[in-house]
A and B are shown apart, each in its own frame.
Chain A
Amino acid sequence: EDQVTQSPEALRLQEGESSSLNCSYTVSGLRGLFWYRQDPGKGPEFLFTLYSAGEEKEKERLKATLTKKESFLHITAPKPEDSATYLCAVQAHYGGSQGNLIFGKGTKLSVKP
Chain B
Amino acid sequence: ETGVTQTPRHLVMGMTNKKSLKCEQHLGHNAMYWYKQSAKKPLELMFVYSLEERVENNSVPSRFSPECPNSSHLFLHLHTLQPEDSALYLCASTQGHSTAVYGYTFGSGTRLTVV
Contact = CB atoms under 8 A, between A and B. Distances in A.
Interface of A: 4, 31-32, 34, 36, 41-46, 49, 87, 89, 91, 98-106
B103 A36 contact: yes
A45 B106 contact: yes
Nearest to B55: A99
B45 A101 contact: yes
Interface residues of B, number: 27
B92 A43 contact: yes
B98 A98 contact: yes
Q: What secondary structure prevails in chain B residues at the interface with A? A: loop
Contacts, number: 59
B100 interface: yes
A79 B97 CA distance: 35
B48 interface: yes
4 tightest A-B contacts by CB? A43-B106, A46-B103, A103-B43, A99-B98
B101 A49 contact: yes
A99 B2 contact: no
